Amino acid sequence: MYAELSNKIKEMLELKSSPIAISFSNKAPEGIEQMKGEARLCQMLDKARFEEKSFYTTSDNHECDGGACNCGLRELSERMKTGAFLFKDLGLFGSKRAARRFISSNPRIEFGTVKVISFSPLEKTKFEPDVVILICNAKQGMRIAEASAYESGKKTTGLTGPPICSAVVVAPFLTGEVVYSLGDSGARKSMKVKDEDIFVGIPAELLPDIVENLGKVKFA
């Protein structure tokens, strides 16, 4: 099923890399190995789409606290909760107040409810995904938006502030909605992405209808 969906969406959109399947669980999926070493969650997306690797991760594999905390593997530190880390250490905000607002408003999975995050190219996945990530250009993203609205007329959502681990990995899982992101500076620095690339998170249960609708929409 997922191999067929992946091949169809890659062909219809002329994608240059595979959609990425992600699952959240408390046990490792059967048939895949744990990733060796540490990496940022955004780098794990590249590992799946470019190296065509299927793997699972635990908290120990996650180099970035942001990804691990947003996905429920770790609890936010006090310096993160108060905004001190993003304000003083990274200089991403002009005050602790602004950094604290940012942190508190980001979509986040409750700590302790996830112990394992698994990644795979969609066509090779051996687990049932919760979210499918596309890294594509704006025109390809537009076609996904139109296909997702074909039957329902519902508009898609964009989250331009949170990092992609929150915006396109966590938010679609929590809301059941397609979510777009322009990316964040950390992900764009760490990943092999082009300036024109955007990020799209799709709840896995919506993907079959979206792929079917890609063949129905009369694109202008």
Q: One digit per residue, pLDDT tens: the chain, 220 residues?
A: 899 999 999 999 999 899 999 999 999 999 999 999 999 999 999 999 999 999 999 999 999 999 999 999 999 888 887 888 788 777 888 888 988 888 888 899 999 999 999 999 999 999 999 999 999 999 999 999 999 999 989 888 898 878 999 999 999 999 999 999 999 989 999 999 999 999 999 999 999 999 999 999 886 6
Which of 74, 72, 103, 75 minimizes the C-alpha distance to 87? 103
Q: How many Cα atoms within 13 Å fall on the side-chain side of residue 46?
A: 14
Which two three-digit tokens encode residue 38? 């540490």
Which two three-digit tokens encode residue 142? 């537009």
Place of tokens 């992405």: 193
